[in-house]
Structure 1
Amino acid sequence: MPSSTGYLIAAVAASIALFFALWWMLIVGGDEAPWVPAGLAASVLLLVMLSAREVVLRRAWTRYLLENSIPKNSARISNDKPHSATKSYSTSMHAAALATIQKQSAEAETASSPDYHLDVFHLCQNYLESTEQALRANNLSPEKRNAVRRGQERVRTLEKYHLLTWARDSSRILTHEAQKRVRVSDKIETANRAVECLDSALKVLPEAPELNESKLAIREFIASVKVAHWVELAERAAFKAHYRRAIDRYKDALFYLERESVKEDVRIAGAERIDREIELLRNRLKLPHKDPE
């Protein structure tokens, strides 16, 4: 990773280059105040580059804390003083990692993307793994072991919370996106991505009722999309007096209505309506007129 000074110089140089490039293009284009949009664009670029580096450095620092918080089992300690220093170093590093996790947890609450919650969840996993290894090493005093266990309890709470929040928000965003899609295949594909988010969270928290409820709701949405698609095709065929084709399309709708995850009352009501439409079409076929098909 480049040094802070080097990165800052590169960011400023890139911003200046962008400023003069836009300034020249706007002058050629006849803009009366080319320095205003050029300056704004250069400022935005500089802010984005500095913000991106801050995020990368914060995550790298957290990983460093987690990876270096556990003394190597193979290290030989020759006297009590280095041994005590190693234990103190390990505990202090875990405390620093815990503080970093709590800080990023607070930042995730105001972040625009659910992925920030997923990042915190992974940090919590790393912290719990490293502290478990430290506890198994059996070189901590009872007081420090208790402190580490208290930290684990707080992190487990954060781990569960951020995983649930990520799964809930990600699936909600994808479901809303699926509802806005026009093509049926796009609706189903996007909704299935929401289900995948929930499934990945359920592997860690299989007993979470909110995840199972959200998954069922999305499954019902997918079923409604499929059934509505075939019902629409059936209605179009019936409008064109293609009654046999319409009956086949209604049967396709019944197939998905029976196969997909749908509430029982919704399934019964939908099946009754489709059966009535099929019966009406069969009666029309019995009328003394030539079937267009």
Structure 2
Amino acid sequence: MVAAAAAAFVLFFLLWWMLQSEDTPWVPAGLAASVVMLVAASARQVLMQRTLRRHVLAQERHGRHRESYMRNSPKRRNFHSITIQTEAFRTLQKRAAEADANDSFPEDHLAVYKLCVDYLASAEEALLSPVLPSENRLGLIAGQERVRALQRKHMLAWARGAARSLTHEAQQRVRLHEKIEIANRALDCLDSALKVYPEAGELDQSAGAVREFIMSSRVAHWVELAERAAFKGYYRRAIDCYRDALFYLTRDTLDQNREAAAEQITREIDLLRARLDTQKAGRSVVEATVTAKKTRRKRKEL
């Protein structure tokens, strides 16, 4: 800009000297000098804009490179992973509290169990990082222990709640096959939990109660059929139905209640056999009487 000013100054005096014969030589000289200054100022503005643009682009490239480096750096990844684990643990605790407060829905406990599985998997992946700080590593390990306890608690709660709900539903059904089908679904829930936690003795007790319900439903079904058949006089069919009931009753280990029920069914079978024998004897007497009458008629005819 200084050179442009000097050039304009020289041009002004040069034109003023050359145009001394004119009335106002300083006017064209001033205009020429002004044009030189304007051109120089415009050129300077263009150069400054280009320089500024190149500087901004260079800064943006540098910023993107730095951001990419920070994002992909091990420390950044570890920090991001720890943040995710912290948020996941808070969400898990919140969902667990909601499931405990609303214990009537077993599906809530199952959802918490699945969240625990996801958390443990992501925490295990984070622990594989070689640059993870020791304090963060200890925090993740402690978090895993707490989540494992929550995982076991909610898995058992889901299994108990689902089995209880399905058993109650089975009790409301009328048809035997529907009762057994729904009760078997309850057993499947308990068995799936026992595969994960085989040491859970309370689930064995729940499974035993469901199996007892299935057995009692079958026995009650066959006893009812036997009573109907006996009422109609079909003693042989009633005996067969009682035998089926006795089969389901004595198939597993007998306890005091089962032994008492088996003795009662056995007495009913004995009574039905006695009635059947009486019925056969009565039929024999009737048949003998009819045969005797026919014989006497034939003799009279002869």
TM-score (norm 1): 0.69
**Matched ranges for 1:165-244 at <5 A:** 165-244=157-236
- Of structures 1 and 2, the larger Rg is shown by 2
Q: Does 2:237 correspond to 1:248?
A: no
For 1:289, what is the secondary structure of its paired residue? Answer: helix
Q: Does 2:274 correspond to 1:283?
A: yes
Quote the residue 2:101 is aligned against.
110
| Distance (Å, rounded) in 2 between the aligned partners of 1:228 and 1:125 | 43
Quote the residue 1:258 is aligned against.
250
Quote the residue 2:86 is aligned against.
95
Range with bigger deviation, 220-229 or 262-271: 262-271
Q: Does 2:80 correspond to 1:82?
A: no
| Distance (Å, rounded) in 1 between the aligned partners of 2:178 and 2:245 | 19
Residue 263 of structure 1 deviates from its aligned partner by 5.0
Aligned residue-pair number:
214
Residue 265 of structure 1 deviates from its aligned partner by 2.0
Q: Does 2:113 correspond to 1:121?
A: yes
Residue 258 of structure 1 deviates from its aligned partner by 2.2
Contact 1:175 1:191 in 2 (8 A): yes
Q: Percent identity?
A: 54
Gaps of 5+ in 1: 1-76
Aligned residue identity for 2:257: V
Contact 1:220 1:262 in 2 (8 A): no
| Distance (Å, rounded) in 2 between the aligned partners of 1:263 and 1:221 | 15
Q: 1:122 to 1:192 in 2, by over 3 A?
A: same
Residue 78 of structure 1 deviates from its aligned partner by 7.5
Moved >3 Å (runs of 4+): none
Render the CA deviation track for 1:69-99: whole Å, top value 9, x for unaligned: xxxxxxxx989x9322222221121111111
Contact 2:78 2:126 in 1 (8 A): no
| Distance (Å, rounded) in 1 between the aligned partners of 2:196 and 2:184 | 19
Quote the residue 2:3 is aligned against.
none
Q: Report the aligned-residue RMSD.
A: 2.1
| Distance (Å, rounded) in 2 between the aligned partners of 1:150 and 1:185 | 48
Aligned residue identity for 2:92: I
Residue 266 of structure 1 deviates from its aligned partner by 2.6
| Distance (Å, rounded) in 1 between the aligned partners of 2:166 and 2:190 | 11
Aligned residue identity for 1:290: R
Q: 1:272 aligns with which of 263, 273, 276?
A: 263
For 2:73, what is the secondary structure of its paired residue? Answer: helix
Render the CA deviation track for 1:162-220: whole Å, top value 9, x for unaligned: 11111111111111111111111111111111111111111111110111100000000
Q: 1:263 to 1:117 in 2, by over 3 A?
A: farther
TM-score (norm 2): 0.67
Q: 1:164 aligns with which of 156, 167, 170?
A: 156
